[in-house]
Amino acid sequence: MAQLLANTLALASTYILLAIGYVVVYRSSRVLNLAHGELMMLAGYAFFGLVSATPGHPLWAVPAALVVAFLAGVAVYATLVRPMAGHPLFSAVLVTVSLGILLRGLVLLGWTADILYPLAVTGYKNAPWLLPGGAVLTTIDLLSILMAGTMLVALWGFFARSRLGIQMRAAAENPLLAAQRGVNIHLVFSLSWGISTFVAGVAAVLYASKVRLDPEIGVIGLRAFPVALVGGLDSLAGVLPAGLAIALLENLAIRYVSPLLSDVVPFLALLVMLFVRPWGLFGTKEEIERV
Amino acid sequence: MAGASRVLAWLAGAVVLAAPWTPALAQEPYKVGMTAAVTGPAAIEYAARVETFRAYMSKVNAEGGINGHPIQVIYEDDRGEPARAATNAKKVVEQERVVLLVNTSLSATYKPVMATVTETKTPLLFGGGVCPQEVFPPANPLMFCTTSFAAQIDSDFAVRFMKEASKGKVRLGTALMDIPVARIGIDTAEAVGRKIGLEVVGRITMPPGTADFTPFSSKLKDAGANWVFAWSPWSFQVGPYEALLNLGWQGNYLLYGHQQPIDAAYPRLNRENLYALVGASILAEGLPELKAMQETAAKHGASRLDVEGWVAAVAVHEALKACGWPCSREKLQGAMSGLSITVKGVKGGPIQWSRDNHFRTEQWYKVYRWDSARQRAVTAKGWTKVDVGQKLKELRETAK
């Protein structure tokens, strides 16, 4: 039982880190970023490239990879999403789909389809830790849980307290009015894309260090998508319970029902939520009309 | 004008002088088609095979081809998708009129490719993808396989090795990705395991989209498995093992050692409880024959050596040599039915095809483990021969 809970926390932390990205972008620009998983993958490859380029200094590679991830998000907004302003939101979503396919192709060209292990390059080990109750979690699991919590709290503080955060909320609420009040909405939007890919970068560094890095890890982004929807696409607070609930359901299915169900559990949870409460646990009711 | 005439005269002279030294380029080529998972999720395993295959063919052509006839390979990427593989097969067989088609892709692509070759009576070689039922006795006359791994026979050998290598009772756990061929392998391992007195304590079947292997591996650990056998695509063999290590599991793990990834995994993991069953040697053993192959592959443009790709290329080369010139599909099929392919240093014995067995009459296995003190792979069980016909009969009995 203790191990089941530990596994749930570890899986939920990955889902939460990824779902944060969906929510931050949606909150500000109303775009569903369907290339989020691939942007996460790109950050993973940036991390691997930096780790390989600076052997012996792995701790530099982590912040550097996160900066690359942030800049990638800003660049995606500036080059692909901003030109779509004035067009239906659906067009911007399609642009992100194309971006995802393009990124996968580019990664394949640059690094081939080989499985890579960034942690092995750093020389660090992912040591297991025995927890009360006999459960085991590794260093990276613990870091992942810590980072998911930190990101949630930090972003909550940023949106609630900081001037820029409040401007971002205002721009999300009514971009025209915000612009008339002097808010630089393009700066605000690009920043939100940067934050989204930054957090995805954190997920990428941790996941690639724990499991592996290959062009297919972007699929995990798709699995985290139901977490964002179940929590409420415009609600950061909803990500936490949704991530925990879906990870718990997945672990319960693996242990007590059928391991094969683990693939569909997030989407079953999403379907149930869409029937019962289409705007998600903590989402805004009117938001669903926009989706 | 005079200058231009002089240049033309030089060129004409050069062509005349070069002609006797480049017969292969002037001759009509042997045309071979290949449909392969060069991109897509399965490319992790197949891209390197194609790269090595291409390098070997480049070597053959650089050496003058076969009696002056170069081998022209038409490569088509199928991403491991059945629909693309079907289109590729039709294109190379019907438009390019190849004498042989090679499939280096996922088993999901086999059926449509088989349909095309059956319709057009074109020989088909499975080179690097799992060997399908059609190549085992009684074999389909058109279909052949060089790939070292075969779900049922591998699994039978694996569980027998576990029993042999263990002093105490084997409590067997199994791990697989949810694909048909892996299910066949693991079903066999469990059935044979029970028959020879192993206790089967648990099985984890992982869906293709699995993000985290830990919840699956926890189940095996809690079931008390002291040996785990995995037979699947590489990520789904090594993923559960690493998750078990993270959980502090102390048992032994046996997987099918695909040469490229196991070569990379052994030094990275540096663990002595990881055993790899192989049908072809791995580079980590440091055999001189493999080093020579690696150098040749590198010289002809391959960034890495994949033994399965090399063996498939040798088979194509040998088959075309046996076919002679001119080589028709029918003649090639006849030549392949009695072919024996030896790749020194790579396999325990030759790949010998017979009229009704296009897998091979003898399968050879070796088991490696990692020696952390010596930092190299060592032999846990040397090359062992399995009589394929006999083993298949036994397995049919066990299944009953």
* B220 → chain A, closest CA residue: A255
What token pair was written down for B317?
């080369």
Q: Is A54 on the interface with B (CB under 8 A)?
A: no
Q: A2-29 and A219-231 are packed helices; what angle lies between their axes, rounded to 10 degrees? A: 80
Q: Is the pTM of this model over 0.90?
A: no
Q: How close A174 gets to chain B, by Cα (Å)?
A: 37
C-alpha distances in angstroms, A9 versus A6, A130, B214?
Answer: 5, 15, 12
Q: Is B270 on the interface with A (CB under 8 A)?
A: no
Q: Which residues of B touch A211 (CB under 8 A)?
A: 211-213, 239, 242
pLDDT for position A288 = 55
d(CA B336, CA B313): 14
**Residue A41 Cα to chain centre, angstroms:** 11
Domains of chain A, start order: 2-123+137-290 (1.10.3470)
Q: What are the residue ranges of helices labelled H in chain B?
A: 2-18, 23-26, 43-62, 82-90, 110-120, 151-165, 180-195, 214-223, 235-246, 259-269, 288-299, 307-323, 329-336, 388-399
* B46 → chain A, closest CA residue: A113
What is the CATH architecture of B151-285+364-399? 3-Layer(aba) Sandwich (3.40)
Task: Give the one of A120, A128, A251 whose C-beta lies nearest to B247's C-beta.
Answer: A128
What token pair was written down for B294?
């690696």
The predicted-structure confidence for A183-236, as pLDDT tens digits, reads as follows 888 888 999 999 999 999 999 999 999 998 988 888 888 889 999 999 988 888
Q: How close B96 gets to chain A, by Cα (Å)?
A: 28
Disruptive mutation site among A7, A9, A256 for chain B (greatest number of B CBs within 10 Å): A7
CB A82 within 8 A of CB A189: yes
Domain definitions of chain B by residue range: 24-149+287-362, 151-285+364-399
pLDDT for position B41 = 74
Q: Is A250 in Cβ contact with B215 (below 8 Å)?
A: yes
* A222 → chain B, closest CA residue: B209
Q: Is B41 in Cβ contact with A4 (below 8 Å)?
A: no
Nearest Cα neighbor of A112 from B62, B363, B47 is B47
State which residues of chain A have pLDDT below 50.
290-291
Q: Is B216 on the interface with A (CB under 8 A)?
A: yes
Task: Give the one of A136, A138, A255 whose C-beta lies nearest to B219's C-beta.
Answer: A255
Which amino acid, B365?
Answer: Y
d(CA A17, CA A38): 14
User: Is the alpha carbon torsion for B267, B269, B275, B278 positive or negative?
Assistant: negative
Task: Give the one of B247, B268, B303 whose C-beta lies nearest to A117's C-beta.
Answer: B268
Q: How close A125 gets to chain B, by Cα (Å)?
A: 10
Residue A244: which residues within 8 A CB-CB, separation 6 or more? Answer: A8, A9, A12
Nearest Cα neighbor of B279 from B254, B307, B314, B237 is B307
d(CA B179, CA B184): 9
Q: How many CB atoms lie within 10 A of CB B204?
A: 26
Q: Which residues of B touch A114 (CB under 8 A)?
A: 44, 48
Q: Which residues of B touch A134 (CB under 8 A)?
A: none
pLDDT for position A289 = 52
Q: Is B215 on the interface with A (CB under 8 A)?
A: yes
Q: How close A16 gets to chain B, by Cα (Å)?
A: 14
* B202 → chain A, closest CA residue: A255
Indicate the burial class of B395 (C-beta count within 10 angstroms; 0-12, 13-18, 19 or more): middle
- Exposure string of A125-140, with b = 16+ CB inside 10 Å and e = fewer, is ebebeeeeeebbbbbb
pLDDT for position B44 = 79
Q: Which residues of A touch B242 (CB under 8 A)?
A: 211
Q: Is A254 in Cβ contact with B215 (below 8 Å)?
A: yes
Q: How close A50 gets to chain B, by Cα (Å)?
A: 19
> Strand B340-341 vs strand B351-352: parallel, antiparallel, or unpaired?
antiparallel
Q: Is B234 in Cβ contact with A3 (below 8 Å)?
A: no
Residue B281: which residues within 8 A CB-CB, separation 6 or more? Answer: B259, B287, B289, B290, B307, B345, B346, B347, B366
Task: Give the one of A120, A126, A260 whose C-beta lies nearest to B205's C-beta.
Answer: A260
Q: Is B44 in Cβ contact with A259 (below 8 Å)?
A: no
Classify residue B286 as left (phi > 0), alpha (psi -120 to 50) or beta: left
- Residue B345 is classified by DSSP as T
Nearest Cα neighbor of A171 from A283, A69, A70, A25 is A25
Q: Is B215 in Cβ contact with A7 (below 8 Å)?
A: yes
* B260 → chain A, closest CA residue: A114
Q: How close A270 gets to chain B, by Cα (Å)?
A: 17
Task: Cis check for the bond before B288: say yes or no (omega within 30 of 0).
Answer: no
At the topology level, CATH places domain B24-149+287-362 in Rossmann fold (3.40.50)
pLDDT for position B17 = 43
For B126, the 3-state DSSP assignment is strand
State which residues of chain B have pLDDT below 70.
1-26
Indicate the burial class of A79 (C-beta count within 10 angstroms; 0-12, 13-18, 19 or more): exposed
- Residue A254 is classified by DSSP as I
Supply the ipTM of this predicted assembly. 0.82
What proportions of chain B, in percent to the nearest 5, are helix, strand and coil? Answer: 50, 20, 30
Q: Which residues of B touch A130 (CB under 8 A)?
A: 248
CB B384 within 8 A of CB B348: yes
Nearest Cα neighbor of A233 from A21, A69, A87 is A21
C-alpha distances in angstroms, B68 versus B21, B60, B332?
Answer: 10, 10, 18
Q: How close A35 gets to chain B, by Cα (Å)?
A: 17
Q: How many CB pairs under 8 A join A and B?
A: 90
Q: Is A259 in Cβ contact with B216 (below 8 Å)?
A: yes
Give me the residues of A, 239-278, that contact B with CB < 8 A.
250-251, 254-255, 258-260, 262-263
Q: Is B213 in Cβ contact with A136 (below 8 Å)?
A: no
pLDDT for position B16 = 43
Q: Which residues of B touch A266 (CB under 8 A)?
A: none
What token pair was written down for B268?
């990275």
Q: How many CB atoms lie within 10 A of CB B13?
A: 10
Residue A211 phi, psi dihedral angles, 5° rounding:
-105, -75
d(CA B91, CA B105): 17
pLDDT for position A287 = 54
